[in-house]
Amino acid sequence: MGHVLARVAGYGMVLTPYWPYKFERSDAAPDAVVVTNRGAAGPAKALLDPADAHSVPGVVDVEPGPDHPFWVIETSAFIAAWPAGFSVESTSEPYCLAGEHDASISVQGPVRIADPDVMITPGQTVVARRTMGPDVQVIELAYEHDGEPWWQGVYLYPRKDGRVLVVTAQSREPGIATARRGVEWMLALT
């Protein structure tokens, strides 16, 4: 399969992966990225350091891009900051962010949601409702899965025409603070 709808940009370049893909931050340098193509032939990887990055056929194309000193994830519908501690992975949605302790952040939409309570499923308990910034509605939920406590935050980020991006973060107990910080940093720079 060819290119996908999500790419990563920053440090003077745009990284456009081939499906199915995974972006990870590298330990080699603070701004370096490892791109993995998980195709049928097996995984193929490329380590990209902004100081000397080049396209790798079948894995990632590298083009000139914005010069800001951080990475953002770009899709046709929105741009969001890439939070530290999370990899960017291809899914049927634009992408999913995956972190430690089964933490994940996913984005859906933009969609129309008349009542935010439709985001609450049976077995979940509302632990907080708040507004982040001037207009992002947040519903924080607690639930149990396989005998462990989990947290889920549903962030409704307003877009045009009454639609919202639904950004959902969740994690087992040890990763809750990281998941919450990740999604809130991601949305603060959106």
Residue 1 is predicted with a pLDDT of 43
Mean pLDDT, the chain, integer: 91
Q: How far apart are CA 96 and CA 106, in angstroms?
A: 5
pLDDT confidence of residue 4: 56
What confidence tens digit (pLDDT) does each residue in 64-115 have? 999 999 999 998 878 889 998 999 999 877 789 999 989 999 988 889 999 9
Domains and CATH numbers, the chain: 1-74 (no CATH), 91-190 (3.40.1000.10)
Q: Indicate the helix (H) or strand (E) that contains 178.
A: helix 176-188
pLDDT of residue 145: 92
Q: What is the pLDDT of residue 111?
A: 92
Whose tokens are 């935010």? That residue is 116
- Regions of the chain where pLDDT drops below 70: 1-4, 189-190
What is the reported pTM? 0.89
Name the nearest CA neighbour of 29 among 1, 53, 2: 53
20 cis-preceded (ω within 30 degrees of 0):
yes
